[in-house]
Structure 1
């Protein structure tokens, strides 16, 4: 089996020793080519090369952003011709970021050593799981994309990372609380449209999910759409208020893992499409990476477009 191992030396929780240990472990059983990313977009270039050169599997050691880039490189733009699943390498992940939402949604351990052992066993048995992906802005997303307050937090966090600060869970929590309770930047409102529902106006922040959880705080999953998974359509979560009392109540239900419900919240699972419309440019994030400001987002999904190295779903 030929495996391309793509590592991100700049990921929050990767080390040179850990990357070498992973490469050596994989090389003990497979033919492994190691590639280190050097710039933004490089992981996508490597993913495309892995497809062109006929690798059996691509393993990413990095954060969610690196995995997103690789998946987009392997699949190409959603507006183009999507390769047939059986013609692509399987995508495996050894977590190296701060949240590692995608890997953990696939029941991959957040501990890189444990995840490596899982990966080796799965590769040995040829385990594959087909997953569906969401898309917007002619890019695929693995677990969620958002407009408004959460994207502002991602933008502020990226600014801190560029100054040398790590993207830890506690830092994310502090910045999220500051954004909602002491907002220094006010996000524009926007309108959300979903099938069979009147447009929802005055939305302050909204997420479109491809699976759950939305994110993790340490070991605790944070659920916006508990009924959304890789096997069905998109989940939508749109709130028309950021008031402190309402945000506290809504946040507590998300932490508990119960279905979030509130008068100012529209939430739905398994929808075919979602549209966000804003009169003014608003911040947008995808899989935890900041994309910039946009006024229009059209979301869709495609079923079973990518095979991942994970235990298949049992019926």
Structure 2
């Protein structure tokens, strides 16, 4: 099996020693080349080159943003009128060795959090030819009725609050500030209170339903959970899976007490978010979000800038990944800190 290991050396939890351990272990099982990203968008270029070269497997060692870039390179640009990509030829298998701060995509697939344990797990999965076919989402900017700037997303996207948080995190990262769950929480709280008195700018239309106005921010999910707070999952649409349509979560209020009640529900393992001020839909094929003034857009934690209209679309059976079966979850065979075989 011909494979490439794409490494983001600047990801939160990647190190040169860890990269070498992962590469050495994988090279014992596959014919491996290693490439490190050097600039924004480089992982997309490497994913595109891997597909054109006819490689069998692309392994990503980095955070969610790096995995997103690779997938956009592998699949190409989503076609404007269908739930397919314009990619020509076979698409390599995708595997992930977590290397970021949250690693939502890998954890949602049942991949071990520790890079060494994840490598051992992937070696076993590759040997057993274990793979999973998953659906993705993609978003399309709409300008004057025309669509452009299409982008695949793996697990979540959003307009408003979470996009503003991602923009602040990206700005801090460029200034050398470390990324951590606590920093996300502090930034989210500060952003919420800074924007809470602003009028709602968003309207939401799910498939062919009515347009819902007065929405402050919208989360769109492709799987559950929406993200993680250290070990705790944050669940906006608990029934959403890679095998279903998209989940939609929008808040019609920024009042403190209703917002706190919903946040408590998001962090509860036994409760589904519910509120008279909450717009929530599960398993939808398409949702359109419009803004009276430009608002921020993020996909998989990557801030893309401001938009006034975005269409989010579910793309079923879009990608093959090396992962446990959906009914198995995280494997327990590898212990954190073990040496790759």
TM value normalised by structure 2: 0.89
- Matched residues, number: 315
Q: Identify the residue that residue 44 of structure 1 maps to in structure 2.
A: 44
Q: Identify the residue that residue 299 of structure 1 maps to in structure 2.
A: 312
Deviation readout 1:212-253 (Å, 9 max, x if unpaired)? 100000011000000100001110001111111111100000
Q: Identify the residue that residue 105 of structure 2 maps to in structure 1.
A: 102
- Of 182, 193, 205 in structure 2, the residue corresponding to residue 170 of structure 1 is 182
Q: Identify the residue that residue 25 of structure 2 maps to in structure 1.
A: 25
Larger deviation: 242-251 or 188-197?
188-197
8 Å Cα contact 1:210/1:235 also seen in 2? yes
8 Å Cα contact 1:84/1:305 also seen in 2? no
Q: Identify the residue that residue 6 of structure 2 maps to in structure 1.
A: 6
Q: Secondary structure at the match of 1:167?
A: coil
Whole-angstrom CA distance in 2 between matches of 1:29 and 1:283: 43
Alignment of 1:16-165 (within 5 A): 16-79=16-79, 82=85, 87-137=90-140, 138-165=150-177
Q: Identify the residue that residue 247 of structure 2 maps to in structure 1.
A: 235
Structure 1, unaligned runs of 5 or more: none
Q: Identify the residue that residue 275 of structure 2 maps to in structure 1.
A: 262
Deviation readout 1:80-109 (Å, 9 max, x if unpaired)? 763689921110000111111000000111
8 Å Cα contact 1:85/1:305 also seen in 2? no
CA offset at residue 199 of structure 1? Answer: 1.4
Q: Identify the residue that residue 336 of structure 2 maps to in structure 1.
A: none
Structure 2, unaligned runs of 5 or more: 141-149, 329-341
8 Å Cα contact 1:62/1:97 also seen in 2? yes
8 Å Cα contact 1:149/1:187 also seen in 2? no
Whole-angstrom CA distance in 1 between matches of 2:285 and 2:54: 33
CA offset at residue 312 of structure 1? Answer: 2.6
- Give the direction of change, closer, same or farther, for the CA distance of 1:69–1:84 in structure 2 (3 Å limit): closer
CA offset at residue 195 of structure 1? Answer: 2.9
8 Å Cα contact 2:77/2:86 also seen in 1? no
8 Å Cα contact 1:64/1:102 also seen in 2? yes
Q: Identify the residue that residue 236 of structure 2 maps to in structure 1.
A: 224
Whole-angstrom CA distance in 2 between matches of 1:216 and 1:43: 24
Whole-angstrom CA distance in 2 between matches of 1:187 and 1:219: 34
- Give the direction of change, closer, same or farther, for the CA distance of 1:281–1:18 in structure 2 (3 Å limit): same
Deviation readout 1:21-60 (Å, 9 max, x if unpaired)? 1111111221100000001110011001111111111000
- Give the direction of change, closer, same or farther, for the CA distance of 1:8–1:53 in structure 2 (3 Å limit): same
Which aligned runs of 4 or more in structure 1 are off by greater than 6 angstroms?
Answer: 83-86
- Give the direction of change, closer, same or farther, for the CA distance of 1:124–1:11 in structure 2 (3 Å limit): same
Q: Identify the residue that residue 301 of structure 2 maps to in structure 1.
A: 288
8 Å Cα contact 1:74/1:88 also seen in 2? yes
Residue 224 of structure 2 corresponds to residue 212 of structure 1: yes
TM value normalised by structure 1: 0.96
